[in-house]
Amino acid sequence: MKYLHAFCIAAAMYSRLPVPNVRWDEESKAMVLFFFPLLGVIEGGLLYGIARFLLFGRVSAPLAAFVMTAAPLLFTGGIHFDGFLDTVDALGSWKGKAEKLAILKDVHAGSAAVLQGGLLLLSVFASWETVFSGGATVRILPQVLCGFLLSRALSALSIFVLPNARGAGTVYDFTAEKQRQRGRGISLLYLLLGSVWLMLTGTRLTGFVILAAVLAAALYSACRARFSFGGMTGDLAGFLLTNCEAAAVFAAACISCLNSL
């Protein structure tokens, strides 16, 4: 039952899946991030079904790209994208760590959030449009959608590896010290399974390019979090996750362009 409670808490926090309300006891909270990457599997499966429906209906590439750009935001309620916006606002302030952490909690959106958030959505839209315009969409889809699992595995791993920048908050509550080693192991297992899936569901070249892009985005995001904020927070984990998902779609678009040459 405690595992079911932990999954329900994860689904309620990080998605819009219809799950029952459960009691947030300490034991369940400590396992929430263990189930977090599973939401990426569910999201990827739903998006795969949507994408195949769009292809079956011969929906135009721009409209299909819009649906695939909007669907993840609707699935998550925008919680991770909100973390991305808060983070770029804080980074754009060029202030000290304490001031940046304070900006992360500010509910107002600054110019950096509007500009970089808009550019990110446009890049994801353009990448999906390129994928749907290519001739290998069906073959690439399972691999690019694997990015939703990999991004969450890397996001959870960063939380268990890096120190908590605040020493408080929801993420701090989810990462009890006695669970950190176990959390790192489980996150690495998800990452390994996602990487194997990536290589087995399409060409190895495509899998390697997508994996390299996702890992590079995660490394960049983790370094920005560590050196600019002193560690991870929930917003910074969302920043990392959003960058990884965008990198996966962009990498798939690059492969589509190469295949069309």
Q: What is the DSSP string of 112-164?
A: HHHHHHHHHHHHHHHHHHHHHHSTTHHHHHHHHHTHHHHHHHHHHHHHHHSPB
The pLDDT score that the predictor gives to residue 65 is: 96
The pLDDT score that the predictor gives to residue 184 is: 86
pTM for the structure as a whole: 0.92
3-state DSSP assignment of residue 96: coil
Which are the contacts of 195, defined by CB distance < 8 A and separation ≥ 6?
150, 207, 211
In angstroms and rounded to an integer, the radius of gyration of the C-alpha atoms of the chain is 18
DSSP state of 178: G
Per-10-residue mean pLDDT, the chain, length 261: 80 88 71 87 94 93 96 94 93 84 80 91 96 84 92 93 74 63 88 93 90 97 92 92 96 85 58
The closest alpha carbon to 33, from 242, 241, 249, 243, belongs to: 241
The pLDDT score that the predictor gives to residue 52 is: 93
Which are the contacts of 64, defined by CB distance < 8 A and separation ≥ 6?
51, 54, 55, 128, 129, 132
The closest alpha carbon to 52, from 62, 41, 43, 64, belongs to: 64
What crossing angle do the helices spanning 147-161 and 234-260 adopt, rounded to 10°?
150
The pLDDT score that the predictor gives to residue 203 is: 86
Tell me how far apart the alpha carbons of residues 38 and 33 are, in angstroms, rounded to a whole number: 10
Tell me how far apart the alpha carbons of residues 122 and 205 are, in angstroms, rounded to a whole number: 26
- Can you say how many angstroms the Cα of residue 72 is from the centroid of all Cα atoms in its chain? 9
The pLDDT score that the predictor gives to residue 32 is: 80
CA distances in angstroms from 124 to 60, 228, 242, listed in the order given:
16, 26, 10
